[in-house]
Structure 1
Amino acid sequence: MKYLKIEDNRGFFLRKEEDGSQTWIEIDQICKEDLFYLLNKAISEDFEMDEFNEDILSNKAHLIIYKNLYEKFSDLLTNKTRFKDESESLYKVAIEKYSTPE
């Protein structure tokens, strides 16, 4: 599913609304909760985004924000398996220590 897109020379992200629906919002309106939502989706689901292209983003604020998000999410998606493995191994000891035997 696509979560970041470029349309009409502007960048957009997919925001989850309180009622569970999703809406495309201009990228300069992104907030902390939106970033957490996108990170969760990038880690747990198929995460697609339009490739960054500075020639089609005429709004300078959108260009800067979209470029940074695209680079960070690209890096995360490239290292997704390694990230999940490291996270699981980090908490493995605690999970084993506090899990009840079956």
Structure 2
Amino acid sequence: MTIDDATTDGERWLVIDGRRWRRTDPALPDDVQAALRSHLGRGRGAVRAAKAAKDPRAEAAARRRVDLAKHGLGERGPRWWDEPEDDRIARANAAIRELDALG
């Protein structure tokens, strides 16, 4: 099942400096998006700190946090427009639970 065929490439992709980035799944509730973006920001900060400290283990853990958040937002992994909305929201909530468990 795919999301409405009226969804355009402009609604699916964001182009910055000629590079195409997948947009966040628009079906995700605002609170879910906010929680995932919070985790994403913390993950990105942890990547910077780990790189500065030259700590490859911490960097890998931080990159995992970023990856989980990006998957939850629909910006990585299966294309959100190709999946049922309920599955996408369930994946986002599962990502939040996993990220919350990481601390």
- TM-score greater than 0.5 by the shorter chain: no
Q: Name which one, 1 or 2, has greater alpha-carbon Rg.
A: 1
- Name the TM-score, length of structure 2 as normaliser: 0.29
- Name the TM-score, length of structure 1 as normaliser: 0.30
More strand by share: 1
More helix by share: 2
